[in-house]
Structure 1
Amino acid sequence: MGIGDAITRFLERIGSKTIEVAERPVRRMPTGKNVQERLRALKQLQKEISIERGEAKEEEQLEEILEWHRQEIQKPFVTRLAEGLLRYFGGPVRTITGFFKGLEVDLYRANMMMSKEQYVALMLVVAILAGLFGIAFAYLLYLPVDTSLLIGVLSFLGAFIYMRQYPRMVWRKRVSEVERAMPYALRHMASLLRAGVGISEAILSVASADYGPISEEFELILRDMRTGSSFEDAISKFEEKMASENVSRVVKQILRAIKFGGNLSDILYKLAEDFSFEYRMKLIEYVQKINGIAFVYMFLTIVMPTMLVVGIIAGSIMSRTLIMPVESLATILWLAFPAISLIIVNMIKKGEPR
């Protein structure tokens, strides 16, 4: 009975293979009674093959077009406008780019992967949109035409200057985030080095962790090393990019320990403790400053508006007429004091220890 089952399964496998082969489209060599019929059949076969290849090529081109459209849709609208401006007005944009010295370095430090020309085109697009918005806003307020144009020009210049400073702002923010995560990353590396892991593997572990920009920068260090740069060149490039005193201290200590020998794990632990202690001291100083600023903030945002309203009401009662128009009072209460509040909050935010 077992031999019969085995034979049956063997025949079933042969049958399934036969059906599979029979279902495949197979082109046979052309046959015919004479040479001319065979040539005609061969030409027909070549025509069918070329048609199938053409359809496959069209499908591949269609997939490429769809993929390109998907990538374009994912880009921000302003970025697409900038690329269009650079495409049609490349000459004037490149001429303007020549006036901005150091822009390429700022983009590199901010980790903004675009050329100088692309960013200048983006600056122009944002400035033009800001200018048009300023004109439209002034028009809705029924301001005179010359005033509206002036507001548009000022909006254009303000947006253009802001966009020029934007890479530096991004770079400073990245540096502060790198310095903030530095103690944790150094402890991470030190623990791995103490366990016998190499420096490259320790950097790879930090790059794979979630330490923010410092993980991204360590990934760039590893990428430079994979492309042929030495460890010293790659980490020195990181130091130059950050242009931070704390980062320079770490890089110099690592290079010194590698060159002259030393317990690198203990050095990194010590640096992490030093950075943590410095941050705690800065935080204590910051809290002491906030206590004084908080009193000034409450006085300017709560006490002064109340005193102003009470003083105007009392003066108006005594003189039996309004000593300040209602529009002016509303402007001061709704614009002046909130603007002062925003300035104070910005000062508090900027003074926060990094």
Structure 2
Amino acid sequence: MGFIEFLERLGGKTLEVTEAPLRRIPEGKTIQERLRALKEIQKEIEEEKKQLSEIEKIAEEILEWRKEEVTQPFSERLAETMLRYFKGPIEFLAHFFSGLDVDLYRANILMSPLKYVAYMLGVSLFVGIFGVLLAYLLYQPLVISLSAGLLGFIGGLFYMRLYPRLVWRKRVVEVEKALPYVLRHIASLLSAGVGIAEAILSVAKADYGPISEEFELIIRDMRTGSSFEEAMTKFEEKMASENVSRVVKQVLRAVKFGGNLADVLYKLAEDFSFEYRMKLVEYVQKVNGVSFIYMFITIVMPTMFVIGILAASVMAKTLVLNITAMAVILLLAFPIMSFIIINMIKSAEPR
């Protein structure tokens, strides 16, 4: 709205300037009259300069506003829009999502629970509308189109509620992957005489992914008055990971009782690396066993299925299975089974 008002005001000023008569110093009059006319022209020019400076100031304000709007994430803008028009229903709906604040905190999503519920609702509405349009474009009846929209809305709401947990689990996986390298990094700095806080700050400035972000939060907590033990315990509770818990307990024990923290961290890094190698060996053995099943389902079973249908049709002198059913089985059933096996192999991959 501000941008449109600015264009209207700018257009009005432009019309005023273009419609203004051309100023000329009167000819054939006395010098006093000509000087008086010249002063009036100067006053008009100064007034126009003031108006132009006001227009430039408005333009700068609009540009700054547009910059802030562009830099603001789409999720924030969508949530604010939904809150502006549906604040009451969103506040009512937020009461049913218990534990959302904890999930957002663990996922490091910097959004209040109420605003995230508004974002959830906005995304779900988009998915529902897309479902209705897609079913309509496929020439489906109105009832089926509305049902598709309703399913899309419910599915979008369900997915957006699980999204913070998915992000948190992904962050935990990334943190656990980087732990051996981070522990060696800290241990090498401690061996060189650097303090534990400075070592954590060094990791925070390095590029280790989510664990660098978490270490930066630890440093921020310590700067705001939290003790080292409180900041590390907070990090442990946020991650809720067995490996992270082992590291935090060992670090706090070494700091409290005066052990050699560098050696402890080196030992932990070696333990994690050894555990990962063992998991990798087990994973390779599982993949070797599952690969045979995968090849059987993707290559042998479809071939045997087609041969069996053809043989039965020849013996019965009629097609025992219509073309549509065969197409559904070959194009949907077998690929779905293959996808399930691939997903099982991927989920078993060591983290």
CA 312–74 in structure 1, closer or farther in 2 if over 3 Å, else same: farther
| Corresponding position of 1:310 | 307
> Does the CA contact (< 8 Å) of 1:78 and 1:126 recur in 2?
no
Deviations 1:146-177 (A, max 9, x none): 22322222222112111111100110010011
Overall identity of the aligned pairs, in %: 66
CA 303–215 in structure 1, closer or farther in 2 if over 3 Å, else same: same
| Corresponding position of 1:184 | 181
- With structure 2 as the length reference, what TM-score do the two structures score? 0.81
> Does the CA contact (< 8 Å) of 1:86 and 1:118 recur in 2?
yes
CA 79–307 in structure 1, closer or farther in 2 if over 3 Å, else same: farther
| Corresponding position of 1:23 | none
Letter paired with 2:107: A
Q: 1:254 aligns with which of 248, 251, 260?
A: 251
> Does the CA contact (< 8 Å) of 1:78 and 1:125 recur in 2?
no
Q: CA deviation at 1:289?
A: 1.1
**Aligned Cα root-mean-square deviation (Å):** 2.4
Greater mean alpha carbon deviation, residues 223-232 or residues 55-64: 55-64
Q: How does 1:158-237 map to 2 (within 5 A)?
A: 158-237=155-234
Q: CA deviation at 1:54?
A: 9.8
Deviations 1:328-348 (A, max 9, x none): 211222222222222221111
Deviations 1:220-263 (A, max 9, x none): 11111122222111111111110111111111111111111010
Q: CA deviation at 1:55?
A: 8.1
Q: How does 1:287-326 map to 2 (within 5 A)?
A: 287-326=284-323
Letter paired with 2:216: E
Q: How does 1:43-192 map to 2 (within 5 A)?
A: 62-75=59-72, 77=74, 79-192=76-189
Letter paired with 2:222: M
CA distance in structure 2 between the aligned counterparts of 1:54 and 1:90, rounded to whole angstroms: 41
Greater mean alpha carbon deviation, residues 261-270 or residues 81-90: 81-90
- With structure 1 as the length reference, what TM-score do the two structures score? 0.80
Greater mean alpha carbon deviation, residues 282-291 or residues 263-272: 282-291
Greater mean alpha carbon deviation, residues 191-200 or residues 304-313: 304-313
Deviations 1:3-24 (A, max 9, x none): xxxxxxxxxxxxxxxxxxxxxx
Letter paired with 2:290: I
Q: Secondary structure at the match of 1:143?
A: coil
Deviations 1:35-87 (A, max 9, x none): xxxxxxxxxxxxxxxx9999888766644542332342345555533321112
Q: CA deviation at 1:129?
A: 1.6
CA distance in structure 1 between the aligned counterparts of 2:52 and 2:105, rounded to whole angstroms: 44
CA 107–269 in structure 1, closer or farther in 2 if over 3 Å, else same: same
Letter paired with 2:255: I
CA distance in structure 2 between the aligned counterparts of 1:351 and 1:289, rounded to whole angstroms: 9
CA 71–327 in structure 1, closer or farther in 2 if over 3 Å, else same: farther
Deviations 1:108-137 (A, max 9, x none): 100111111111111112212222222222
CA distance in structure 1 between the aligned counterparts of 2:57 and 2:221, rounded to whole angstroms: 34
Q: CA deviation at 1:321?
A: 2.0
Q: Secondary structure at the match of 1:89?
A: helix
CA distance in structure 1 between the aligned counterparts of 2:292 and 2:199, rounded to whole angstroms: 47
Deviations 1:239-296 (A, max 9, x none): 1110111111111111111111010000000111111111111111111111111111
CA 216–60 in structure 1, closer or farther in 2 if over 3 Å, else same: farther
CA distance in structure 2 between the aligned counterparts of 1:71 and 1:115, rounded to whole angstroms: 20
Alignment coverage as a number of residue pairs: 307
CA distance in structure 2 between the aligned counterparts of 1:194 and 1:60, rounded to whole angstroms: 59
Structure 2 stretches lacking a partner, 5+ long? 1-47
> Does the CA contact (< 8 Å) of 1:190 and 1:269 recur in 2?
yes
Greater mean alpha carbon deviation, residues 63-72 or residues 168-177: 63-72
Letter paired with 1:273: E
CA 308–76 in structure 1, closer or farther in 2 if over 3 Å, else same: farther
| Corresponding position of 1:39 | none
Runs of 4+ aligned structure 1 residues displaced above 3 Å come to: 51-65, 74-79
CA distance in structure 1 between the aligned counterparts of 2:73 and 2:337, rounded to whole angstroms: 34
